[in-house]
Structure 1
Amino acid sequence: MNETHTDVLVVGGGPVGLLLADELRSRGIRVVVTEAEEEIRQDPRAGTLHARTVQSLTRRGYLRTPATNPGSAASAPFHFAGLPGLAIHAPASEGPPLVNVPQIELERALDELARELGVDLRRGSRVTELRQEDGAVEVTVRAADGEHRIRAGYAVGADGARSTVRRQAGIDAATHPPNFAAVLGLVRLDRPGEIPGGWTHGPHGWTLVNPNPAGHSRVIVHDFRRPLPDHRAPVDLDELRERTSRVLGFEVGMSDPAFLTRFSDFCRLADEFRSGRVLLAGDAAHLHSPLGGQGLNLGLQDALNLGWKLALVASGSAPADLLDTYHAERHATARRVIDNTRAQAALMHPGEEFDPLRELFGELLNLRQANDHVQGMISGQDVVHEPLDSADAWHEGHFLTNLGMRIGGVHTSVAELLARGAGLLLLTPVARSELADAARQWKDRVETHEVELGEERPWSAALVRPDGYLAWTNAAGGTSAKSLREHLAHFFGPGGI
Structure 2
Amino acid sequence: MDASVIIVGAGPAGLMLAGELRLAGVDVVVVERLPERTGESRGLGFTARTMEIFDQRGLLPRFGDVQTSNQGHFGGLPVDFGILEGAHQAAKSVPQSATEAILEAWAAELGADIRRGCEFRSLTDTGDGVEVGTQGKEGERRLTAAYVVGCDGGRSAVRKAAGFDFPGTAATMEMFLADIRGVELEPRMIGETVPGGMVMVGPLGDGINRIIVCERGTPPQRRTAPPRFDEVADAWKRLTGLDISHAEPVWVSAFGDATRQVTEYRRGRVLLAGDSAHIHLPAGGQGMNTSIQDAVNLGWKLAAVIKGTVPATLLDTYHDERHPVGQRLLMNTRAQGLLFLSGDEMQPLRDVMSELIRYDEVARHLAAMVSGLEIRYEVGTGGHPLLGLRMPSLPLMAGRREISSTELLHAGRGVLLDFEDNAVLRRRAARWTNRVDVVTATPQGLTDDSLLAGTAAVLLRPDGHIAWAAPGTRHDLPHALDRWFGPAR
Give the alignment partner of residue 141 of structure 1, picking from 134, 137, 140.
Answer: 134
- 1:398: which partner in 2? 389
1:82 paired to 2:76: yes
The share of aligned pairs that are identical, in percent, is: 37
Report if aligned partners of 2:429, 2:478 keep a CA contact under 8 Å in 1.
Answer: yes
Corresponding residue SS for 2:406: helix
Does the CA-based 8 Å contact 1:282-1:302 persist in structure 2? yes
Counterpart among 267, 273, 287 of residue 279 in structure 2: 287
> What do residues 340-387 of structure 1 show as CA deviations (whole Å, max 9, x unaligned)?
000011112432221111111112222211110000011111111113
Query: 1:415 & 1:475 partners in 2: Cα distance?
Result: 22
Partner amino acid, structure 1, of 2:157: T
* Match among 38, 59, 63 for residue 62 of structure 1: 59
Q: TM-score, normalised by structure 2?
A: 0.92
8 Å contact from structure 2 (residues 121, 133) kept in 1: yes
The residue number in structure 1 matching 2:449 is none
Asked if residue 113 in structure 1 is aligned to residue 106 in structure 2, the reply is yes
Provide, for residues 252-299 of structure 1, a one-character-per-residue CA deviation record: whole Å limited to 9, x for no partner. 332233322100111110111111111100110111111110001000
Q: CA contact under 8 A between 1:90 and 1:96: conserved in structure 2?
A: no
Deviations 1:303-361 (A, max 9, x none): 11111111111111111111111111111101101110000111124322211111111
Distance 1:303 1:233, change over 3 A: closer
Instruction: State the secondary structure of the residue aligned to 1:302.
Output: helix
Letter in 2 for 1:146: G
Counterpart residue number, 2:170: 177
The 2-side partners of 1:475 and 1:403 are apart by 18
> CA distance change for structure 1 residues 415 and 214 in 2, over 3 Å: closer, same or farther?
closer
Equivalent residue of 1:56, what SS? helix
Alpha-carbon distance in structure 1 between the residues aligned to 2:22 and 2:9: 16
Alpha carbons of 1:446 and 1:25: their partners in 2 closer, same or farther (altered >3 Å)? same
CA contact (8 A) 2:82 2:89 kept: no
- CA-CA distance at 1:427 after TM superposition: 1.2
1:262 corresponds to which of 254, 261, 268: 254
**Deviation (angstroms), 1:116:** 1.8
Alpha carbons of 1:124 and 1:226: their partners in 2 closer, same or farther (altered >3 Å)?
closer
Cα deviation, residue 441, structure 1: 1.3
Aligned AA (1:461): A
The residue number in structure 2 matching 1:40 is: 37
Match of 1:274 in 2: 266
Aligned residue in 2 for 1:418:
409
Please give the residue correspondences for 1:10-409 in structure 2 after superposition, counting only pairs within 5 Å. Answer: 10-64=7-61, 76-88=70-82, 90-92=84-86, 95-188=88-181, 192-193=184-185, 195-199=186-190, 200-210=192-202, 215-230=207-222, 232=224, 235-248=227-240, 250-255=241-246, 256-389=248-381, 391-392=382-383, 394-409=385-400
1:457 aligns with 2:453: yes
SS at structure 1 position matched to 2:51: helix
How many Å apart are 1:111 and its aligned residue? Answer: 1.4
Name the SS of the counterpart of 2:81 in structure 1. strand
1:182 and 1:29 mapped to 2: Cα distance? 41
Would you say the 8 A contact 1:442–1:488 is kept in 2? yes
Residue identity in the other structure for 1:470:
I
RMSD, matched Cα:
2.2
Question: How has the CA–CA distance of structure 1 residues 426 and 85 changed in structure 2, closer, same or farther, with 3 Å as cutoff?
Answer: closer
- The C-alpha deviation readout for 1:62-100, integer Å capped at 9, x for no partner, is 1249xxxxxxxx9611112122244355545x5433354
Conserved 8 A contact 2:3-2:146: yes
Deviations 1:211-261 (A, max 9, x none): 68984432211222154444557522332123223333x243322333221
Following superposition, the deviation at residue 435 of structure 1 comes to: 2.1
Displacement of 1:414 in angstroms is 0.5
The equivalent of 1:475 in structure 2 is: 471
Partner of 1:69: none
1:10–1:33 contact (8 Å) kept in structure 2: yes
1:151-188 CA-partner distances (Å, limit 9, x unpaired): 10111100111111111111101212334321012335
| Contact preservation (8 Å) 1:187, 1:254 | no
13-22 vs 453-462, which deviates more?
453-462
CA distance in 2, matches of 1:19, 1:34: 14
The amino acid that maps onto 2:72 is: F
Note the C-alpha offset of 1:102.
1.4
Q: After alignment, is 299-308 or 205-214 more displaced?
A: 205-214
Q: Which runs of 4+ in 1 moved over 6 A?
A: none
Check the 8 A contact 1:85/1:362 in 2, yes or no: no
Structure 1 stretches lacking a partner, 5+ long: 66-73
C-alpha change, 1:215 and 1:476, in structure 2 (3 Å) is closer
Structure 2 CA distance for partners of 1:317 and 1:399, relative to 1, 3 Å: same
Residues 79 and 367 of structure 2 are in contact (CA less than 8 Å); yes or no, is this contact kept in structure 1? no
Structure 1's 144 and 78: CA in aligned 2 closer, same or farther, altered over 3 A?
Answer: same
* Amino acid of the structure 2 residue aligned with 1:123: R
* CA displacement at 1:28 relative to structure 2: 0.8
Q: Please list every run of 5 or more consecutive structure 2 residues that lacks an aligned counterpart in the other structure.
A: 63-67, 447-451
Give the total of aligned pairs. Answer: 476
Residues 127-153 of structure 1: per-residue CA shift (max 9 Å, x gap) = 111011121111111111111111101
Describe the shift of the 1:365–1:473 C-alpha distance in structure 2 as closer, same or farther (beyond 3 A).
same
The one-letter code of the counterpart of 1:7 is S
Whole-Å separation in 1 of the counterparts to 2:292 and 2:69: 22
2:21 is aligned with 1:7: no
Distance 1:164 1:205 in 2: 33
Q: Aligned partners of 2:339, 2:348: CA distance in 1, in Å?
A: 10
